[in-house]
Amino acid sequence: MKKDEYDFLIKRISKMYEIDWLRVKAVCLAESNMNPNAKSHCGAMGLMQIMPATAGDFGIKNPENLYVPEINIAVGVRYLNLLYGKYAEISDPDERWLFTHAAYNAGRGNINHAAKHELLQDGSCQTWDEAEEHLIEITGEEHSRETRGYIDHIQQFYSELQND
């Protein structure tokens, strides 16, 4: 993968939250193909496809600010950090990231409901494969397929970025 004009911002902001910047770049690639002006059919905006309501939770009142790469990346990284923290019971960091990315795409509530079908004795679900099997029951076939594809894209991009 080529060096991107947003790598410096992604690195700087990711470092503040101790997140591997390649994971953040993988999200940008999967969400917008590195297009800061992208807008989805459901209203997600910018490089990391942030919903205005999510941005509002992080103090961004004007949704148009989500087209500013630095603001969009800052909100996206903070949101990823928040989600990653919500899955602290998952011991394997790679599995924890799969849950984080799935929640980023499908919503934490949906992923938590899917994971509840596979709870271990300690009350945790430890692998994405276990939870993924039940996602269709929660979100329906189309959305489940979308989330599974999203995770596949994230994993592919992350792997390619690591190998560059």
- Distance (Å, whole) CA 22 – CA 122: 32
3-class secondary-structure state, position 12: helix
5 is annotated as an active-site residue: no
Contact 34, 6 (CB under 8 A): yes
- Distance (Å, whole) CA 118 – CA 21: 31
- The active-site residue out of 18, 31, 118, 132 is 31
Q: Tokens in use for 41?
A: 């059919």
- Distance (Å, whole) CA 92 – CA 66: 32
Tell me the catalytic residues: 31
